[in-house]
Structure 1
Amino acid sequence: MVRHLLSEMEGAAELYGDSHFSADLEKALIKGLILSQPNNYSAALAQAAGTKHPHYLLRAKAFMHAWAHESLALEDVEAAAGVSRHKLFEGFRQYFGLSPMAYLKQYRLEQVRRNLLDDRNHGNVSSIAMDWGFTHLGRFAADYRKLFGETPSQTVTRQQARHAR
């Protein structure tokens, strides 16, 4: 990029001498050098840039979040995403490290936890879990413990103790 810029500058010195034109090129060159070479800010820059998800994954994710309270089948998610099952699985594994339905289960578990930790929560664990689509409460409790390192009732007890102080 630097070589190209230098060769161009030799041929069009008047244009490149104009600060309105060359300022943007200078910024692009500096950004390119910072992004292409490892430096003290590499990790922060990578995190700020974030990972861009394909549109079909964004559609699938939005669909799952909007309908998470309902009974969803993989076919529903495929239709919402507009891609084949293979492509859907491939994308979810690549970007989220989970299958589509495992992603949905994790999202639902996180929502149950959010509800349990909500100060306005007056429901019991079973009703909240069932509201989020968990019909087998034993399996729900095991999955919850595996994800959060505590049972749902421990979460509620801890939250109640925090408010009692």
Structure 2
Amino acid sequence: MNQHHSKVQRQFLAVELSSIDSARDWMGRICGPHNLEIIRPQELLFRHQGASLGQISFGVIEYSTSAQVQTQDLLHSYSISLPFTGTQYIEHKKDRIESNSQSGLIVSPGNPFSLTLSADCRKQLVRISRTAVEQKLATLLHREISSPIIFEPGIRLHNGMDDWWNTVATLQGMLKNQSSLFDFPDVWSSFQDTLISGLLYAQPHNYSQELQNRQFNRPVYLSELESMMKAHLDQTLSISDFEKAAGISREKLYRDFRTFYNCSPMAYFRNLRYQRVRERLQQPAANESVSSIAMDCGFIQLGRFAKEYQQRFGELPSESFKGKR
């Protein structure tokens, strides 16, 4: 009952450390367990300045020398960062994802990763509680979350994430004040909710499609059918196959596709094929050819394929292919 009258406990973060163990332990308490490797320990000067409030911590960190952070699982936190200067990159499975002042990174709990920072990397770091993110998504979806929320690790500054980072910068600036409106629980709760909701809507993750469906009242079966289409782009599927897979009438199938995709089911399937073939032509594997890629994507009549491809993209398949060799 007294919560509305008491202030939120705000913790200011300001530290300067020169030992690997102390820097690792400090960040371990904030983001989660990890290993820290420094090639030139004598050059290490770790700095972290920011504030922690509620379920979120904001800060600016730097190691002043190249550093590598490794973990099997952050356990309880999402770690989100964007360099002001310098670069960083993450190695996850077989992927290497670069990050600079125009592209950030997000590390999700449950995902092993290796993060390497350049010597001049100085970055904005946001830590959000895993519990808070899962609770917010459960509220948005009106159901419990059955598996961990895994975000795409690379953050591009578009589709709302540029606004998200601008909001972070504004909040962090306000948190530097000795007293602010954020000290009142109702006020901070609203801002915290906005920041977490914005992240869930703007940054792709394994629940994005369901969240989008819920937002636009799109039938869930359409997402399932889209996944089925993408898994069978090399096969000859008919409207009957889609009708059977969806378990609905052909009339409703056409009506929903017109409503949510503005085209027929077959046209949508064909659009997916063209998207896939263009992606593969622009990034061909060794020993691949235009014809082998086209046939892998279900295009058998190569002359017709080349003509339609040119009409769609303004260049021949061979031009897309050669442009990336």
Same fold by TM-score, threshold 0.5 exceeded? yes
Tell me: higher relative CO, structure 1 or 2? Use CA pairs within 8 A at least 6 residues apart: 1
Distance 2:297 2:257 in 1: 21
Separation in 2, partners of 1:25, 1:82 = 47
Q: Map 1:134-145 onto structure 2 (within 5 A).
A: 134-145=299-310
- After TM superposition, the structure 1 = structure 2 runs for residues 9-158 of structure 1, keeping only pairs within 5 Å, are 19=4, 48=202, 51-52=212-213, 53-158=218-323
Q: Compared with structure 1, are the counterparts of its residues 121 and 113 closer, same or farther at alpha carbon in structure 2 (3 Å cutoff)?
A: farther
Which structure 1 residue ranges, 4+ long, deviate > 3 Å from structure 2? Answer: 23-28, 47-51
Equivalent pair of 1:125/1:152 in contact (CA under 8 Å): yes
Query: How far apart are residue 119 of structure 1 and its match?
Result: 4.5
Distance 2:186 2:247 in 1: 39
Q: Alpha carbons of 1:121 and 1:147: their partners in 2 closer, same or farther (altered >3 Å)?
A: farther
Query: 8 Å contact 1:60–1:78 — kept in the other structure?
Result: no
Pick closer, same or farther for the CA change 1:27–1:76 going to 2, 3 Å: same
Task: Answer whether contact 2:284 2:321 (CA < 8 A) is retained.
Answer: no
- Listed as ranges, the gaps of 5+ residues in structure 2 are 6-184, 203-207
- Aligned CA distance change for structure 1 residues 86 and 119 (closer, same or farther; 3 Å): same
Q: Which has the higher strand share?
A: 2
Work out the number of aligned pairs and report it: 132
Match of 2:323, SS state, is helix
Q: Deviations over 1:56-81 (max 9, x none)?
A: 10121111111111111111111111
Deviations 1:98-142 (A, max 9, x none): 211111111111111111122424222122211211122122112
Amino acid at match of 1:19: H
Shifted more, 114-123 versus 55-64: the winner is 114-123
Measured at CA, do residues 121 and 107 of structure 1 come closer, stay the same or move farther in structure 2, by a change above 3 Å?
Answer: farther
Structure 1, residues 25-72: CA drift from partner, whole Å, max 9, x if none?
Answer: 9967xx9xx9xxxxxxxxx9xx74974231110121111111111111
1:83 is paired with a residue of what secondary structure? coil
Taking structure 2 as the reference length, the TM-score comes to 0.35
Distance change >3 Å, CA 27–CA 74, structure 1 → 2: same
Q: Is contact 2:282–2:323 with CA below 8 Å preserved after alignment?
A: no
Query: Any gaps of 5 or more consecutive residues in structure 1?
Result: 1-14, 35-43, 161-165
Letter in 1 for 2:229: M
User: Is the contact made by 1:117 and 1:156 (CA closer than 8 Å) also made in structure 2?
Assistant: yes
